[in-house]
Structures are given as structure tokens and as C-alpha cells.
Structure 1
Amino acid sequence: MNERFERAPIGILDVRTDGTVTAINDAAAALLEVDPDAVRGRAVGDVFPHSVDDTVPRAFAESIADEFSVEEYYPTLDRWLEISAVPAGETTTLYLQDRTDYRRTERTVDRLRGDLDRLVVINELISDVLDELVEASTREEIAETICERLGETDLYQFAWVGERELGGDRIVVRAASGTTGRTLERLTDQLDESAALPEEQAVETATPVLVESLGEEPSVPEPVRRAAFADGLQSLLAIPLTYGSSVYGVVGVYAADRDAFSERDRASFGTLGEMAGFAVNATRHRNLLLSDTVVELTLEITDPGTPLVAVATELETPLSVDGLVSQDDGQLLCYLSVDSAAERCAESLAAMDGAGHARVVDGGENAGSVEVLLDAETPLGSVSARGVTVRSAEYEPGSGRVVIELPPEEDVRRVADVVTRAFDAAVVAKRERERSITTAREFREELHDRLTDHQENALRAAFLANYFESPRESTAEEVASALGITGPTLLYHLRAGQRKLLESFFDPEPEEHAEVGREQ
């Protein structure tokens, strides 16, 4: 064997026409994982391990007249080899190159390209769902939109949407679409039996639940596992419909593939759950705003562990809630009027469980206002998270009264149970009342009566001069100069006018509603 043959960077074998190996270099021996001294004089079929087609041994079993090249996978070596055969008289030379890394890279690229294509399809699908959710005006339309879009795609077998039963904790099927087979029937049966399903877990934890082997997952009830196996279903993703700290329902998406939901897919579906929860919350608020009548509940809170009852009791002073601002994490920014020193009230609240930071907004010796951050797990946080309107909240030593408004079709019992089950509280009054409808013209006329001429002129001039645009197209000095007043005077009129505008929008409705029905 010459030195060039031995030191070649690729594997080389010389094989006689009868298939006997006459020479092999170290590179070829390493690729085939054989002892070069032991294979000389042996049949080529004994030197090459088995592949799917066994191309090389079969070629020597016949006569090799022309050059050929083949790329094959050898399972025992876990290696792809490219083999080129060059016949020359009584000897055929085989050239071997390792193509394993290239093949693995190619597979990875193909997989990533497939994942990207799938992600694009899923994102387009979810984008379509979100677009249609914007147009949905009822919770039934929201459920049907989600199911029809997800259940009728080739990516998934079926989808269903569940919500808590009115007046109870059981989840009921609101809508379903796709090839449900026997699985949805068994799901419904298990919901009736209060069995623990992944969808119920998603509702309880407010987080998505993934099952990648339905037939083997012990947490899935056996009837559902059997039905899923019979229907050819392997994976499930349960997505809660959330808004803030509220969970309005769940979407269950079932697929035939075990790995149907990648990490990117789950992130996209998480966005869908949040947007669907937002849509449900919006429909509830829309119903409340557009309803001619509302249900008004009065709750009495006597739980001494709640922050506002506790501070009213500790300071022996009444306090009232002026307004609430919801936060993304379910907490409430609460503004209070207090009849005692505001500084003491803020200090006491800041030290209590269920309250976060507290500061004095307007302080005085005998009265003032305080800003406090309340946890979602407080009476006000709990009812606000259910999409109701807190009309008023008054506290005195030992108790507090909270008046909330709901649309007539809302489940009153469920909302009340949120508070009465978690706290020492009771419903002390319930009534239906008509709402007065103020037209845009009436609103403008009322506001016109409240504004002074100077305030209205300042607001109108600033608005028309694009003072309120960002970036501003006119400065305060320019607007003031046009009105013939000083800059500080303009700002004084603007602040006073803006204050009246905001009061007209944020102040509670005046108490001039005709009752329908009677207190219960």
C-alpha cells in the first residue's frame, strides 16, 4: 500500500471483482469501525454493515461495469456514508466520505423550516380568530368563533369552549366544532361527574395545560383516554380565557399528532386566551352600558380581616371610596375620602395584609384623601375582577356597604358568591332599576352650563390650535397670546375646565333613577 493511499483524507478500499477486499486505509477502517489488518482478504459484504438497500454488497454480487455513487445510512454505525465506486480492470476502488453532519444539519433545517411554516399558519389562524373576536357581541358568538376557526382547520381534530355553569362551579360546553367523535361525549360525561379534566385544571390555575399523550396520561379520566385512543387523538392543549385575575372559561384543542403544540404554538394560544378573555369582559361591560335596566346589589362586609373594614375600625372613622382603577395584575388602585387624619389612615393601610403602597393625596387634620393599592383577593378586588361596576362603597367601624351594578342577564348568584364565600359578607339588598339615558347633546349642554366662558374659550382655542396633540403644534404662550391673556392664566383656565370635563365623565350617575321592582 503506497503512502498516498494510506494518508488520504477520505476512506479508500480496493476490492476485486469477486468482492474480496485487498486494501483499506485507516480513514476507511475508522468510518466502518473495523480493524484494517483483519478485513484484508474478506468479502466486502462482511466489511460493510447492513444498510436498508445493501447497495455495495449487491453491486459486487453482480458485475460492476460503470462508476456509481450512493449515499446510505448505516444503523449500526449511526452514520451516513457517501460511497463512490470506480472500476478499473480486475479491481474496483471505493471512496468513502462521512455525510452524517451534513444530513443532520439538513434534517434540522427541514425541521426548522417546517416549524416556521407551521408557526406562520398558526399565527395567521389565530390572527383571523382575533379579528373575528372584535366583531363578536355576545359570549355565545365568542365561543362559536373560536371553535369554528380552530376545529375546522387541518391542524387540529376539534376544539370546544367551556364556561362555568350559571349559579354553580361546574363547567358546561358552550360550543364545539370539528371531528369530535366519541371524545367530546366522554368529556361531557366527565364534566357531569365533576371529574378532574385538564380543561378544569386550566380554569383552576389560570394557566395553559398541555397533554402530549392522551392515551397514557394518568391524570386524564380513563373513559376520555379510551375515547381519544379510538378517535386517533394524541395531544391536547387547554387554554384558559383570562382577563386580569378573572377566568371566564377554557378552550380545549385536540390534535392527532403527539407534538402538535410547540412552545411557540403555546405562546400564541396563550395570547388567544387573553384576547378571548378580554372580549368576554368587554361584552359584559358593553351589556351593562347598553342595558336600559341594571341589577343593583348591596353587599354588607363585616370581615375584620379586609383592609378597609379594618382601617375604619382601627381609626374609628368612616371612609368612602371615591374611585377605583383596575391594574393588569388584578390589583385595584383605590382612592378614599377619610374623615380623620389622612396620614394615619395611609400608614395603617400600608401595614395591612391585602393592601400595598398607600399615600396621602390631600391631607388635613380632620379629613383628607388617600390612595391605596388593594390586592385582587379583597372584596372590592374580587367583584371588580368579575366585570361589574362598583357604584359606591362606604365603610364605618365594624362594617362596610358596597353597591355594585350588573346587567340583567348576568348571573347574580355567582357574583355574590365570589364575596360571600371568601369573606364575612352578605347580600342585604337587590333591586332592578331603570337607567336614565343622556344624549350627546344633553351632555354637551350640561357641560356648557358648568364651564365658565373663560374656561370654555380656553379649551376650545387650545383644542383647535392642536395644543393637546403630541407633539404639540401650538405652545401655551401662542394660545394665550391669541386669546389676549397670559400663559399662567391660560393654564389656570385649562386645568379648571379639564377638571370639570373629567368630573362629568368619571363621577357616578346622579341618584335620579326610577325603580323597577322592589328591594328583596
Structure 2
Amino acid sequence: MRDTDTQTTRPEYTRQLEAIVESSTDAILVKDTEGRYQFANEAAASFLDREVDDMLGRTDRELFGAEVARELRDRERRVLDDETTATFEEALPVDDGERVFETTCSPYYDSSGDLAGTVSICRDVTEREVRERTLKDQRDELATLDRINEVAQEVVRTLIGEPSREEIERAVCDRLVETELYKTAWVGEPDPADEKMTELVGAGLNDAVHSLVEIIDVSEESAGPAARAYHGGEPQVIDDVGNDETLPAEMQAGLLDLGYNSGIVVPIRYGDTTYGLLGVGTERQSAFSQREVDAFDVLGEVIGFAIGAVKHRRLALSDTVVELTFRLTDRDSFYVAASEQLDCTVRLEGMTAGPAGRLLFYDAVSGTDPDAIFEFAEDWDGVENVRLVSEHGDEALFEFTMSGSSLVLTLSEHGAKTKAATSENGEGTVVAELPSDADVRSVVERVRAKYPGVELAAKRETERDLQTAREFRRDLDQRLTDAQRTALRASYFAGYYEWPRDSTAEEVAEALGISSPTFHQHIRKAQQELLAAFFDRNGDRP
């Protein structure tokens, strides 16, 4: 008990209470039992972008609308009915969006002890909520990226089991839908004849979705996301189906009826060839972050790589092949133009991957001076570097570093192996092999679509001259001299090819009783014969 002389008088107590309320950084609100505001401090008015006088005597419905008011009133009724204190989070609309409050709501009573309404103390936790929401979004995004990456890894793992193209595509669609992040996933390939989607596989498809996908137009004249993805080589996102003006009206209405709000279309490509499209749909709006788009882009490349591997494996294991001979007179071809303008013959010796997506072509050129090749290539788009490798009489071997597309590359990406390629007198000839069960018509149509100047000059089915492992070893053994074979075996068993080396060249030479230069001569020739036997056997040298 305090001494009455020191007790605060009621007016002074009231002033102190008012000072505390007005200086509080938390919003303090008082409502009657009907939900009308009886009091609001300055902090409350400031948070809600309103004046105090504008709030008094009004209800939440008048201030915030029916939907928000219904939620607020339900909570307050529970407080009034139970006559207990409750703490909860609530979001209120303001001019620049919404604010989130942690609110403690209690009943209050009049001087007679009757229930008079509620008093609420509201702490602004918007920044905390934003941080927590951001962290949750980041966690969700990382989980999504992990799932997409798992799908990509599974595609690579499936190659061990020698799957078909359809099995790869179906597995991708199944795994994406199984994540429950996406409602539908499909893979389709445009028909070269009418550029509509065909050969469709997918997961979560019904007849209505199937019909919508089949009317997708991927012609260059189309402005739709599928056409942009197919020709542009980059994923295209539909953030809001209802407001995407590039979607045809029939497609837009159909997707909305089926409950789709956003989607992504991803090109499935390998090198310079696009095999088809991967489409994914979801009920969520704006569902695809940039990192998710990037992950889908990588997934499209992985699927394309897998399809390319399947095509090449089919050719490698095929006893019977279809041999196609293409003829081209297109002056936009570097080799065709060079053969005409320099009056020379160009013969492809081999090709391999170079740095940064470039290709290295090794071509034998006869009938012209090497300097003329350097001058001709200097201003030619797509030829990034030229190097003279060797000269033998009238013939010179060049290494060309090329960027962009080529007929040989396109054939390779469609599973064909180039056997020979020559250009002479302004005309090029390319002979390629496809597995006997390949869709030859589709490959030819795609080549013609990409290179209008190319003609199919001949087509025939032939048996491949396959070599067994025993025949390969016998052939290699016949290529090597006794000295080369001895040097090769000794250097192998002595660990000369280990890293770091177990034995030096000098040590192996000493063991063989020969000089170091002689050892290097034998081993270099043996390695050359070994590589020649391998690449000739695998058809890497036309």
C-alpha cells in the first residue's frame, strides 16, 4: 500500500495513461461490441495511412472492405464470446500494399462491469514477415531446383540402361509431375510438314490438354511462346495465362478452363539442333523464378544430349545402315564457295569439338596455294581461325575453327555419321549413314528445312563392315613393327603413361637397350598406328 500523500490523483493518472498510449510505437485500438472504432492512437493511424478522426465511429468493413473485415470480426467475436485474450497475426491493406501486425486482443469492461468491446495492441511485424517469407521462398526455390536437377541427373543415369528416346522423354515428364510442383509435363516434336506438334508423350495429360498441345504452332510467323522457344533456343515463360497476349485465344481459353495459370516451354536441343519442346504447366501464377528457368534450360540441354547419345548408339550397334548422299550448291557454304572461287578440291578428313562450343574441322585442300585459303577465309563469317597443319605435294591439311551451323554437324546431331564430304567446282557432296530403323524422311525434311539448297541425291541400304574386338587387335598387331610393339608394351608395363610417370622415357629406353631418340621414334609411330586403328574402326575418319 502506498501512502495516500504520494498516490497519483485520477486526472494525473489519466494524463499519464494518455501520454503512454500516444507515445507508444505500437498501434492501440479500442472498439465497441459492434466493432466500431472508439479510440485509435497516432501510431495506429500512421500505420494504416489514415487520420484518427477518419477511423472513429467506423467499422473495418468501411475501412478495409468486406473480406478483410470478416476475418477481423471473426477473431474479435471469439475474444468477446470467450472473454479471453488472444494473440494472432493479421494483414491489413494500406496505400503501398499491406502491413502485417502481431495483435493482442482483449475484452474490456465499462464502469458497471459490463462487456464494452475490445482493446487491441498491434505491433508492426511487416519487415519480419517479409524476411521470413523471403527465407521460405528461397527454401522452396532451392527445393524446386534440387528436384529439377534430380530429374536431369536421372536422365543421364538412364543412358546406362540403353533407353529409347520415348523412354527418356516419358521418364522426364513422369518425374516432373511426381514432384507435385507441376500439373502437366509433355514433350513434343514439330512435324516438318505443317509445324504443328506431334509424337507427343507426357504425364498428367488428358484429352483436352492433348488437343491443346497438338494445335501449338511453331512456325517462325507465330508469336507464341512455343515458336519463340523452338526458333530462339531459350525457355519461354507464361507468367499469367489469362493476360498473355501472345497465346492464341483458343489456347488461352482452354488453359484457363483446365485451371492452368502459368507455364514454361523449353527447347530440347543438342548443339545446333532442336529436337523438340518440353512443356510444363501449373496452377500457380508466376510460378517460375529466373533460377528455375535456368534450371529448366539446363534440363533441356541434358535431354537433348541424351537423345543425341541414343541416336549415335543406335548407329554404332546397327548392322544395316541407310546411306544418304546429299548434294549442295549453296554459295553460303564456305567449302562450296572456296572450291568454286579458288578452283580447288576440299575433302573432310575429320572433325571434333573445340573450345566454347566451336568445332574443329580437318580438311585436305588440293589445287590451290595455301595462302589463297588464308585470304579467302579471312572475311568469311563463321571461320574463326585457320591453321596450316601440313603440306604433302599439291595437298595441304588445314585446321578450321568454325562457329555456327553446318550440314555435317546437323546430320551428326540427328544421329547420322558422315562417311565422306567433298567440295569441288562449286558443288558439295556429303555421304552419311543412318541406322536402318531411323526415321529417314524426318531427317531429310529437317535438313532441307534448315538448308534449302541441299538435295538428296541418293539413298541406299547397305551392310556395315563391323569389326570384332579380336579382329581389331589382329589388325593393330599387323600395323605395328616388332620394335614398335616392344616399345609400346614396355612403356605401358613400366608405367610410362601413368600420371605422374612411374618411369621416364630414358629409363624405358635404357631397359630396352636403345637410345632415347630411338625409343621416342618407336613409341610415337606405335601411338599413331594405335590411334589410326581406333578412329578408322569407329568411323571418325571419313
Output the CA distance in 1 between the equivalents of 2:304 and 2:31. 75
Matching of residues 15-414 of structure 1 within 5 Å: 30-31=46-47, 52-53=71-72, 71-76=89-94, 78-82=98-102, 97-165=123-191, 169-189=195-215, 196=222, 198-327=225-354, 331-339=358-366, 340-363=368-391, 366-414=394-442
Q: How many residues align?
A: 506
Output the CA distance in 2 between the equivalents of 1:234 and 1:370. 55
**Quick check: 391-400 or 149-158, which moved more?**
149-158
Per the alignment, do residues 135 and 300 of structure 1 end up closer, same or farther by CA in structure 2, a change over 3 Å counting? Answer: same
Output the CA distance in 1 between the equivalents of 2:168 and 2:226. 18
Amino acid of the residue matched to residue 92 of structure 2?
Answer: Y
Matching of residues 509-520 of structure 1 within 5 Å: none
Per the alignment, do residues 76 and 106 of structure 1 end up closer, same or farther by CA in structure 2, a change over 3 Å counting? Answer: same
Amino acid of the residue matched to residue 494 of structure 2?
Answer: A
Per the alignment, do residues 94 and 236 of structure 1 end up closer, same or farther by CA in structure 2, a change over 3 Å counting? Answer: closer
* 1:42-83 superposed Cα distances (whole Å, 9 cap, x missing partner): 77989x97664259987998998x876565443347433445
- The 8 Å contact of residues 270 and 305 in structure 2, kept in 1 or not, is answered as yes
Identity of aligned residues (%): 33
The partner residue of 2:525 within 472, 496, 499 is 496
**Quick check: 125-134 or 403-412, which moved more?**
125-134
| Alpha-carbon shift at residue 486 of structure 1 (Å) | 3.3
Output the CA distance in 1 between the equivalents of 2:120 and 2:185. 56
- The 8 Å contact of residues 364 and 395 in structure 2, kept in 1 or not, is answered as yes
| Alpha-carbon shift at residue 95 of structure 1 (Å) | 5.6
Output the CA distance in 2 between the equivalents of 1:409 and 1:354. 34
| Alpha-carbon shift at residue 142 of structure 1 (Å) | 2.1
Q: 3-state SS of the aligned residue for 2:72? A: coil
* 1:457-504 superposed Cα distances (whole Å, 9 cap, x missing partner): 222222223322333333323333333333333222221111111111
* 1:111-142 superposed Cα distances (whole Å, 9 cap, x missing partner): 33333333334433443344335434322222
Q: 3-state SS of the aligned residue for 2:294? A: helix
**Quick check: 480-489 or 499-508, which moved more?**
480-489
Output the CA distance in 2 between the equivalents of 1:14 and 1:416. 77
* 1:80-129 superposed Cα distances (whole Å, 9 cap, x missing partner): 34455798996999765432222222222233333333333443344334
* Equivalent position of 2:484 in the other structure: 455
| Alpha-carbon shift at residue 175 of structure 1 (Å) | 1.6
Amino acid of the residue matched to residue 320 of structure 1?
Answer: R
Output the CA distance in 2 between the equivalents of 1:16 and 1:408. 83
- The 8 Å contact of residues 362 and 399 in structure 2, kept in 1 or not, is answered as yes
* Equivalent position of 2:465 in the other structure: 436
Per the alignment, do residues 116 and 493 of structure 1 end up closer, same or farther by CA in structure 2, a change over 3 Å counting? Answer: same
* Equivalent position of 1:517 in the other structure: none
Per the alignment, do residues 44 and 94 of structure 1 end up closer, same or farther by CA in structure 2, a change over 3 Å counting? Answer: farther
Query: Which structure 2 residue ranges, 5 or more long, are not aligned?
Result: 1-14
* Equivalent position of 2:512 in the other structure: 483
* 1:152-191 superposed Cα distances (whole Å, 9 cap, x missing partner): 4422222222124487754313322224251212332556
| Alpha-carbon shift at residue 13 of structure 1 (Å) | 6.4
Output the CA distance in 1 between the equivalents of 2:508 and 2:379. 47
**Quick check: 50-59 or 261-270, which moved more?**
50-59
Over aligned residues, Cα RMSD in angstroms? 4.1
Amino acid of the residue matched to residue 491 of structure 1?
Answer: H
| Alpha-carbon shift at residue 283 of structure 1 (Å) | 1.4
| Alpha-carbon shift at residue 243 of structure 1 (Å) | 0.3
Output the CA distance in 2 between the equivalents of 1:303 and 1:94. 81
Per the alignment, do residues 345 and 229 of structure 1 end up closer, same or farther by CA in structure 2, a change over 3 Å counting? Answer: same
Output the CA distance in 1 between the equivalents of 2:36 and 2:268. 70
- The 8 Å contact of residues 322 and 336 in structure 1, kept in 2 or not, is answered as yes
What TM-score comes out, normalization by structure 2 length?
A: 0.79
Per the alignment, do residues 438 and 121 of structure 1 end up closer, same or farther by CA in structure 2, a change over 3 Å counting? Answer: closer
Output the CA distance in 2 between the equivalents of 1:419 and 1:500. 36
Output the CA distance in 2 between the equivalents of 1:498 and 1:171. 50
Per the alignment, do residues 381 and 74 of structure 1 end up closer, same or farther by CA in structure 2, a change over 3 Å counting? Answer: closer
Per the alignment, do residues 60 and 32 of structure 1 end up closer, same or farther by CA in structure 2, a change over 3 Å counting? Answer: farther
Output the CA distance in 1 between the equivalents of 2:275 and 2:30. 74
Q: 3-state SS of the aligned residue for 2:341? A: helix
Per the alignment, do residues 260 and 193 of structure 1 end up closer, same or farther by CA in structure 2, a change over 3 Å counting? Answer: same
Output the CA distance in 2 between the equivalents of 1:359 and 1:369. 9
* 1:363-387 superposed Cα distances (whole Å, 9 cap, x missing partner): 4673321111334444334434433
**Quick check: 448-457 or 2-11, which moved more?**
2-11
- The 8 Å contact of residues 162 and 249 in structure 1, kept in 2 or not, is answered as yes
Query: Which structure 1 residue ranges, 5 or more long, are not aligned?
Result: 511-520
- The 8 Å contact of residues 360 and 400 in structure 2, kept in 1 or not, is answered as yes
- The 8 Å contact of residues 242 and 274 in structure 1, kept in 2 or not, is answered as yes
Amino acid of the residue matched to residue 297 of structure 1?
Answer: L
Per the alignment, do residues 222 and 193 of structure 1 end up closer, same or farther by CA in structure 2, a change over 3 Å counting? Answer: farther
Amino acid of the residue matched to residue 408 of structure 1?
Answer: S
| Alpha-carbon shift at residue 454 of structure 1 (Å) | 1.9
